[in-house]
């Protein structure tokens, strides 16, 4: 029994670590390219949302093994919302712009959650199959583009474009991020192994320590 408690604590700690990392990463992708001053409220929103969904899923879900975490599928939608609001305020930071962006994200998230809850209650999840493949493919392609460009921008601290490939400093800055991405891809091949995620995190930390010495 005691070993079960220890295993649960370790699993919960790893899940919390991954969720925090995902929340911070999503905030960086959304706000780093718009205005750095939006990063703090953005991270706060996503961390609070992660806490609420985690507690809600654990306490009210009918599945005991449910794990709730931030989803990156809505990043293109949120990116358009954030960019549009920021441009409407003259592409300059202000308290009004920050408050509007926060409220817009909260309202969008609430309505999306209610819509999904309604689909689940009415057992209409199969309607997703009627979405045309080009629409789904284009949506996921947009997610991939935002992830790659946003990730390289956050890792390098500058706008990532094709010309950046010839910059040695840019390559040096993004190398750890690229290595981590490759490790995560390889780790998915061994997802049945309970040590895959801790191993990837440990190797990434060790690589970063050696790389930046």
Q: What is the pTM of this model?
A: 0.69
- The pLDDT, as a whole number, for residue 121 is 84
- The pLDDT, as a whole number, for residue 211 is 67
| 29 and 75 Cβ atoms separated by less than 8 Å | yes
- The pLDDT, as a whole number, for residue 83 is 83
- The pLDDT, as a whole number, for residue 191 is 65
Q: Sort residue 90 into left (φ over 0), alpha (ψ -120 to 50) or beta.
A: left
At 189-210, the pLDDT tens digits run 776 666 666 777 777 777 777 7
What are the tokens at 175? 């190398």
The neighbour count for residue 172, using CB atoms within 10 Å, is: 12
Residues with pLDDT less than 70, the chain: 1-3, 72-73, 191-197, 211-213
Residues 6+ apart with CB under 8 A from 66: 57, 58
């Amino acid at each position: 029994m005691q070993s079960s408690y220890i295993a649960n604590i370790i699993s919960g700690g790893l899940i919390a670590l991954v969720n925090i990392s995902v929340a911070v990463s999503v905030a960086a992708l959304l706000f780093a390219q718009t205005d750095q001053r939006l990063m703090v409220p953005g991270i706060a929103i996503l961390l609070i949302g992660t806490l609420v969904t985690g507690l809600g899923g654990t306490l009210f879900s009918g599945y005991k093994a449910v794990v709730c975490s931030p989803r990156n599928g809505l990043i293109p939608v949120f990116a358009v919302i954030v960019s549009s609001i920021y441009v409407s305020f003259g592409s300059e930071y202000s308290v009004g712009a920050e408050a509007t962006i926060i409220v817009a994200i909260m309202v969008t998230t609430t309505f999306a959650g209610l819509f999904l809850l309604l689909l689940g209650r009415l057992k209409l999840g199969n309607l997703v199959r009627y979405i045309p493949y080009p629409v789904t493919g284009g949506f996921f392609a947009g997610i991939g583009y935002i992830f790659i460009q946003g990730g390289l921008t956050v890792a390098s601290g500058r706008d990532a474009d094709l010309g950046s490939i010839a910059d040695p400093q840019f390559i040096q800055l993004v190398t750890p991020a690229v290595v981590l991405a490759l490790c995560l891809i390889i780790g998915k091949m061994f997802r049945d192994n309970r040590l895959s995620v801790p191993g990837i995190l440990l190797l990434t930390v060790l690589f970063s320590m050696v790389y930046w010495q």
